[in-house]
Structure 1
């Protein structure tokens, strides 16, 4: 077996999955920005995180005809945002022993000081969920 035939994920594999989360997050933000262009002053959304403007906009629609869809969307968005933010701003350690199964993970510390461990599989699932939320925005008419 050569050095390139490592049986389990390496640190590079772990870093690649984290990078994929960030790329999908950028695509999600682009989708939010595209949707908001039709209803929100562009000067206003140029300041601050686009997700904050998106949340505010969707919350303003709660109570309308898409009430349950909007609530479901906001809940899904909050769930992925928490984990994405930990990966973007809170990584404290990373481990991936290519000779030991189940070792590829990162440990993140949240703003509250609580530690969270995410396996490479959890990070892959996060990428898929971010993409699902992005597609949901594109497929659902949130515009008032």
Structure 2
């Protein structure tokens, strides 16, 4: 991915950014598991997605920690796009000879389509990391 030599992102670059989202999401889920274990919520979290159990835990904390409302909202915002990228990719395209040509098209469960550029995918990865760090530092401070 070097615009100086006339090339732009390839399909491999796009795949790398998609993989980075998945890695960052795994780190976020690890933080969720850590919080559930520290709060004894893990005994109830034996089955199902960790995010579902963490949502319940976070909603309970919202009453006593106002920051948790923000954390929960941030997780919900990034989860939607991440889930589309993890479960709904219908098309991936990149032409290294054309600028701004790397993107994926995802289909929602309701059939709506969403197009995400490589830059938006990269931004999501960075946002997932920010949310994870914010959740970790916010709960450690309380």
TM-score surpassing 0.5? yes
User: Unaligned regions of 5+ residues in structure 2, if any?
Assistant: none
1:75 to 73, 76, 87: 73
Q: Is the 8 A contact 1:39 1:143 kept in 2?
A: no
* Structure 1 residue 71: Cα displacement: 1.3
- Give the 5 Å matches for 1:6-21: 7-21=7-21
After TM superposition, the score normalised by the length of structure 2 is 0.91
**Paired residue for 1:55?**
55
Higher helix share: 2
* Structure 1 residue 70: Cα displacement: 1.2
Q: Is the 8 A contact 1:62 1:71 kept in 2?
A: yes
User: Unaligned regions of 5+ residues in structure 1, if any?
Assistant: none
What is the root-mean-square deviation of aligned Cα atoms in Å? Answer: 1.7
* Structure 1 residue 142: Cα displacement: 7.1
* Structure 1 residue 117: Cα displacement: 0.2
Secondary structure at 1:113 match in 2: coil
Q: Is the 8 A contact 1:35 1:143 kept in 2?
A: no
Q: Is the 8 A contact 1:108 1:117 kept in 2?
A: yes
Q: How many positions carry a matched residue from both structures?
A: 138
Whole-angstrom distance in 2 between the partners of 1:36 and 1:26: 15
What whole-Å deviation, never above 9, does each CA across 1:85-129 have from its counterpart, x for those lacking one?
000000000110000001100000011111000000000000000
- Give the 5 Å matches for 1:1-144: 7-64=7-64, 66-67=65-66, 69-141=67-139
After TM superposition, the score normalised by the length of structure 1 is 0.90
Moved beyond 3 Å, runs of 4+: none
